[in-house]
Chain A
């Protein structure tokens, strides 16, 4: 690992200032993406600004049909939160499927979203539920946030502060694990909003990261039953192909996982 300088700010404003002064600084939250990357010398930030202990970035609340989760809240805290389990059980279940127990004890929702790994789970929930990302500068809608592989709408130094999720009528997430890494080979989040609109978000499969499956959404808007998905054809040309599975295999998984999610919603 390259040398680095560590900073522990006392507030979000101080964190942003420390980063702006650093030559090539990075925020660190749970460190469960950044530290392995640094060990492999794929990243060598001059400075690390630690967000993991900032109370401004912590906590979970539920009010007026919205669940709000601080960016530095761990996967375990989301998975075990009574408020999330009650309001959006699919979101708590998704958090409980990330990695393994020790990963969940440290990894955070903010880090996962900022990183936007094509196989990460949270992007599917954020896009599927139509959540809003609140940063230290502005609000970003889920549909505008994920801009490509490992890239987001965040500007240099911008900090995710919290994420707010509208409580849906019903939702479910179905994930086909990579047996080796635990990431999603393909995961599908299906949500039916209080106004009846259906959103379907797919992670793990897209060559540009998480995306909404418009054809499946259309099929489900007529009839919210898994049979409606049979007639949809998923074009493999925009999908990932690697040693774990071809684009055609993933295209099939998208349908299978979507059907399972719709069945789980009941």
Chain B
């Protein structure tokens, strides 16, 4: 067991973890932040994507202890002062989800997409960028629309 200190959604957190504990396990089981999901055991589905020091990563494919000293943001931490993040609002408005299981990972990936590529995203770019996020319900059409609109809304914010 080791003690680690990190920042999660702006709050200082210290936790006792086994060396083999995955970051997603720390988030869900210790910190009770169950918005970050686990959809596979092959690092392929993207349901677990969070931001580590501002960069999108699969929290199922890193150890909690590797995040010692890092700043983590999860889906629970993107709304500000009770108002949905523009990307969350766009998913609601454009019906970018059905069961919602993939949605936290989609939104964290989409925010990272805007950070890297800017807010003017065409459909082909968005589809290519979503290669690591699997949705079993929607057929992606409305997810792509939501990300396009959410990206624009982020720019005008």
> Residue A169 at the B interface, CB < 8 A?
no
Given A35-B62, A36-B61: A101 in contact with B109 (beta carbons within 8 A) = yes
> Residue B122 at the A interface, CB < 8 A?
no
- B22 partner residues in chain A, CB cutoff 8 A: 35
- B132 partner residues in chain A, CB cutoff 8 A: 99-103
Enumerate B11-37 residues with CB–CB distance to A below 8 Å: 18-20, 22
Shortest CB-to-CB span from A72 to chain B, Å, is: 13
Shortest CB-to-CB span from A51 to chain B, Å, is: 11
> Residue A40 at the B interface, CB < 8 A?
yes
Partner of B56, one of A2, A3, A48, A105: A105
A39 to B41, CA, bound (A): 7
Determine whether the beta carbon of B41 is less than 8 Å from that of A102.
Answer: no
- B20 partner residues in chain A, CB cutoff 8 A: 1-4, 38
Enumerate A142-160 residues with CB–CB distance to B below 8 Å: none
Count of chain A residues near B, Cβ 8 A: 26
A253 to B106, CA, bound (A): 33
Contact with B along A173-209 (1 / 0, CB 8 A): 0000000011000000000000000000000000000
- A2 partner residues in chain B, CB cutoff 8 A: 20
Contact with A along B128-154 (1 / 0, CB 8 A): 010111000000000000000000000
Tell me the nearest residue of chain B to A1, going by C-beta: B20
> Residue A50 at the B interface, CB < 8 A?
yes
Determine whether the beta carbon of A31 is less than 8 Å from that of B62.
Answer: yes
Tell me the nearest residue of chain B to A181, going by C-beta: B44
Shortest CB-to-CB span from A232 to chain B, Å, is: 32
Shortest CB-to-CB span from B2 to chain A, Å, is: 7
> Residue B157 at the A interface, CB < 8 A?
no
A182 to B131, CA, bound (A): 8
Determine whether the beta carbon of B112 is less than 8 Å from that of A35.
Answer: no
Given A2-B20, A4-B20, A99-B132: A32 in contact with B41 (beta carbons within 8 A) = no
Shortest CB-to-CB span from B105 to chain A, Å, is: 9
> Residue A5 at the B interface, CB < 8 A?
yes
Chain B interface size range: 20 to 34
A50 to B66, CA, bound (A): 8
Given A5-B19, A6-B65: A105 in contact with B55 (beta carbons within 8 A) = yes
Partner of B18, one of A3, A50, A182: A3
> Residue A52 at the B interface, CB < 8 A?
yes
A181 to B62, CA, bound (A): 19
- A105 partner residues in chain B, CB cutoff 8 A: 55-57
> Residue A58 at the B interface, CB < 8 A?
no
- B129 partner residues in chain A, CB cutoff 8 A: 101
Determine whether the beta carbon of B113 is less than 8 Å from that of A106.
Answer: no
Tell me the nearest residue of chain A to B130, going by C-beta: A100
- B63 partner residues in chain A, CB cutoff 8 A: 6, 31, 35, 48
Given A36-B42, A100-B132, A101-B129: A106 in contact with B57 (beta carbons within 8 A) = yes
Contact with B along A6-46 (1 / 0, CB 8 A): 10000000000000000000000001100110111000000
Given A1-B20, A6-B19, A36-B43: A102 in contact with B66 (beta carbons within 8 A) = no
> Residue B58 at the A interface, CB < 8 A?
yes
Given A99-B132, A102-B49: A36 in contact with B41 (beta carbons within 8 A) = yes
A103 to B132, CA, bound (A): 8
Given A99-B132, A101-B132, A102-B49: A4 in contact with B62 (beta carbons within 8 A) = no
- A80 partner residues in chain B, CB cutoff 8 A: 116
List 24 A-B residue pairs with CB atoms under 8 Å apart, sorted by A's residue number: A3-B18, A3-B20, A5-B19, A6-B2, A6-B19, A6-B65, A31-B63, A35-B43, A35-B62, A36-B42, A52-B66, A99-B132, A100-B131, A100-B132, A100-B133, A101-B56, A101-B109, A101-B112, A101-B131, A102-B49, A103-B43, A105-B55, A105-B56, A106-B61
B: residues with CB less than 8 A from A are: 2, 18-20, 22, 41-44, 46, 49, 55-58, 61-63, 65-66, 109, 112-113, 116, 129, 131-133
